[in-house]
Chain A
């Protein structure tokens, strides 16, 4: 039995069921026989059926999966990789939490520089990358494309730190 494959198949089956349940309560439209729930219900049932097949295959499969042809066997995980993975996965959330407070110009160097430092252990290069990339992105998106990036604590300096 392949537990992780079974878990993923189960997740998709659950999603199919959620789609059916969530749309079942939609009110039918007057004079139209086929309401807004019809198409999602079909999608939900097909997803459940296919997930069932995937689960069946996972239950019958060998416990240890052999890597596909051309695929390198997975290397054992270590702490450095786990921290790096967690860092990359959490970085967007950290941005969402910090950017409204600290602003883009302070948050992005922390994220980019921090990730580069965890990956390489080279502080100077990581800092230069974080600052340089942040300035470049700020010029392209804020100054040229007029995207309203958050200023946070730097709001009072917004007029000084832009050229327009």
Chain B
């Protein structure tokens, strides 16, 4: 408790509060603009975080992540275009409510439920993470290896589309992580004689390239302006919210629980949590047949769930160093940039800092109520920023962001090349999240793999001798084999029916 008190005091510094406020406003703005994802918003701000002290940098980044996920609800309700994928599950309901004159209630529910989900996620994170970290301290390199494998295979399994494309994306991330000096012998790998590659590919240009450049190039191929709807009075955003939430308190609990649990599964992010929560709510609601037609019942669970998932995803990220989704992978990247190693030892070596980050996340979700209500009232003017002005500005930010951290033009070229690769991958339905997770987890996976092999003197059975490592290995194998088995079964069935 003493550490939590100190963590709270750390956040009261004017610099930290100002940065959290600025990050909140930025997150709300970027999340609210259709086509700009929360991951991209965080990736673009990392070059600035790089120059800040660890506390303001991490507090700002977690605030931004929380706000961006909520802000995705705004264009969903007003334009029927979800600002982030996490808002896609209930976009029809919120949009139809606005069309029907219930815009105040729809957006009020989005703000309050997002804040409740975020606060629950933050509280679970603060309670569960240190406890799990104490257990994780007992893990040997075998368990750590299998945990990394589990995280990566789960990321591929839930990435959507064809599993082998997720696998290729993951291998690309692992390959990028291997560029530079080999951690065991110090020899140069995959540098192709280039001096710039000896230190490896810098994290920030790779991130900016993979998340921001494809958005810009997509716009260039289809430069349509989104016609803004006429400005309409939304009324009191809090009117009717209290009575609706009292009636649907079960959905609030369900959304929070599903969000935290799904968010904690590596690879599954806020969008999957929202879809599952929406489906459960629809299944058990008395007005389930009205879902998709604009009923407030359809909003509560998923919009709570997607924000709770951010806190859930932070649990494996901080305890094991295994990010739950691409957004958390970027946050973990900021930990590394600040010289901190996420994992169970961070709770012993840096208890004040990690608790300050958790506390910042909690406060960010509370701040979401006033900031979210304000953003909702001004959003209708905000979306009038034309995309022909926005996209060149995003590209300028990409260029200067990639350059700023490395201070070399090679970083800009890296960003462009990775951006083009990511653009081609997305065009051909290759998911990007496994690549980012591979990039972040690659060094840990290789290190634990080689350490375990050396410890076991090459005996691969040692990887499954301990009960916990055997359990994790079995789980990984099931996740690996299931899609392959399904693939073979579908092909066989297709061949039979043909």
Contact = CB atoms under 8 A, between A and B. Distances in A.
B164 A53 contact: yes
Kindly state the interface size class of chain B when it binds its partner: 35 or more
B222 A75 contact: yes
A133 B428 CA distance: 34
Interface of A is mostly: helix
Interface string A134-164: 1001001100011111000000000000000
B189 A22 contact: yes
B1 interface: no
B17 interface: no
Given A36-B189, A93-B416, A147 B403 contact: yes
Interface in A58-86: 68, 75, 77, 80-81, 84-85
Given A93-B413, A112-B393, A26 B220 contact: no
B397 interface: yes
Contacts of A33: 453-454, 457-458
B415 interface: yes
B190 A92 contact: no
Contacts of A120: 386, 388-389
Contacts, number: 180
B388 A119 contact: yes
Interface string B389-403: 101110111111011
A141 B449 contact: no
B163 to A, nearest CB: 9
Contacts of B400: 104, 108, 137, 141, 147, 149
Given A12-B172, A27-B185, A122-B388, 19 more contacts: A5-B428, A16-B171, A22-B189, A22-B190, A33-B458, A34-B454, A39-B446, A50-B164, A50-B168, A68-B429, A77-B221, A88-B395, A119-B220, A129-B389, A137-B396, A147-B400, A147-B404, A149-B400, A149-B403
Interface of B: 48, 51, 162, 164-165, 167-168, 171-172, 174-175, 178, 182, 184-185, 187, 189-190, 192, 216-217, 219-223, 386-389, 391-393, 395-400, 402-404, 407, 409, 412-413, 415-416, 420, 424-425, 428-430, 446, 449-450, 453-454, 457-458
